[in-house]
Amino acid sequence: METLEKEDIVNVLLQKAFHSFSYSAKLATKERGRPLPKIKVTKSNGNVSVVSATWFARYAWLTGSITSNRLYCWPCLLMNNSKSPTWAVHGFTDVKNLDRATKRQVSRSRTMPIDQVVDEGVRLQIQKHNAKVRGNREVVKRLLDATAYLGMQELSFRGHDEGENSDNKGNYRELVEVIAQYDRVLAEHMESSTVFTGMSKTIQNDLITAIHSSIKTEIKKELNRTPFFSWQIDKTTDINIHSCLSSCAMLMTMVPFRNAS
Mean pLDDT of 4-23: 80
Looking at the fold, whether 82 and 125 belong to one and the same domain comes out as no
End-to-end CA distance of the chain: 75
Domain count, the chain: 2
Asked if the model's pLDDT at residue 32 lies above 70, the reply is yes
Tell me the pLDDT band of 110, cut-offs 50, 70 and 90: very low
Q: Which SS3 state, helix, strand or coil, does residue 130 take?
A: helix
| 82 occurs within a structural domain | yes
Q: Is residue 165 part of a domain?
A: yes
| Whether residue 99 has pLDDT greater than 80 | no
Question: Is 261 within a domain?
Answer: no
Name the residue range of residue 56's domain. Answer: 2-112
Boundary-marking domain end, from 112, 141, 160: 112
pLDDT, position 142: 95
Which of 5-14, 39-48, 142-151, 158-167 ranks highest by mean pLDDT?
142-151
pTM above 0.85, yes or no: no
- Average pLDDT score over residue span 143-148: 95
Residues 146 and 104 in one domain: no
**So what's the pLDDT on residue 42?**
63
Percent of the chain with pLDDT over 70: 80
Same domain, 158 and 219: yes
Helices marked H in the chain: 2-6, 9-15, 23-32, 53-58, 74-78, 85, 98-109, 114-152, 171-182, 184-192, 201-225
pLDDT band at 1 (very low <50, low <70, confident <90, very high): very low
Angle between helices 184-192 and 114-152 (to 10 degrees): 110
Per-residue pLDDT, 30: 82
Q: Which of 34, 26, 89 is nearest to 59 (CA)?
A: 34
